Each structure stands twice: as structure tokens, then as C-alpha cells.
Amino acid sequence: SQQGEEDPQALSIQEGENATMNCSYKTSINNLQWYRQNSGRGLVHLILIRSNEREKHSGRLRVTLDTSKKSSSLLITASRAADTASYFCATDAGANSKLTFGKGITLSVRP
């Protein structure tokens, strides 16, 4: 089964609104990463948060990590139509660098 599971599966918002996406996982992790995938393209790395970090910011992105609840959230503030994409969380655990991806969240931002 997937290590990372995102919710909701799909999210539709108006441009300018904030989008919050959640990810839960099952086992202890080294770090958690968020990726974006535009239609017909490969995944693009957005942000990495380590297991000893609680919050991280990058531009309009804010990621939180709660290891006690085994969950993370990705907040996109002041969304734009160009943010329309699928978003994936990925976790790695253990000594190797193998990432396990969730099934993704489809975000639609209406102009």
C-alpha cells in the first residue's frame, strides 16, 4: 500500500484563495517531500522537510510536518491559475533513498 496518502483527492478553488492539501503516512520517515506535476509533464520538486523540522516556507508555499500524527500539509497561498496541477507527497524511510509517492491531489484553480 502507499506510504503517503494525500487528501482530498481533488480540490477546486477560485484564484486568490488558499489551497490546503494533506498527506498522511504510516511509518517513521527521514524526510517528506512535495512535488507538482503539470499535465503531460514530469514531477517537479517543490519542497523537502526533514523529520526534525516542523515548518518550512518557500515563496507562496508553506509545509508543516507533525511526526506524532504522521501527517504533513501543503498550503499554497494566493493561488493562481498556473498552480493548477497534481500534487504529490513522497516519503523516504530507512537507509536508502527510495521514495514512496502518494496517489496525488488534483488541484484546479479557476481564473
When binding is defined by CB under 8 A, the residue of 39, 40, 52, 69 that contacts another protein is 40
Is residue 3 at the binding interface for another protein, with CB under 8 A as the rule? no
- Cis status of the peptide bond prior to 111, with omega within 30 of 0: no
- Residue closer to another protein by CB (options 40, 111) is 40
Q: Which of 45, 91, 93 is nearest to 72 (CA)?
A: 91
Binding to another protein (CB under 8 A): which residues in 55-84?
Answer: none
At 77, list the grid cell. 497561498
Q: Does 97 bind another protein (CB under 8 A)?
A: yes
The helix (run of H) or strand (run of E) holding residue 85 is strand 85-92
- Contact status: 99 vs another protein (CB under 8 A): yes
Q: How far is the CB of 42 from another protein (least distance, A)?
A: 3
Q: List the beta bridge partners of residue 87.
A: 36, 105
User: CB under 8 Å to 66, separation ≥6 — which residues?
Assistant: 54, 72
Using CB under 8 A as the binding rule, whether residue 52 contacts another protein is answered as no
Interaction of residue 92 with another protein, rule CB under 8 A: yes
Binding site for another protein (CB under 8 A): 2, 30-31, 33, 40-45, 48, 88, 92, 96-104
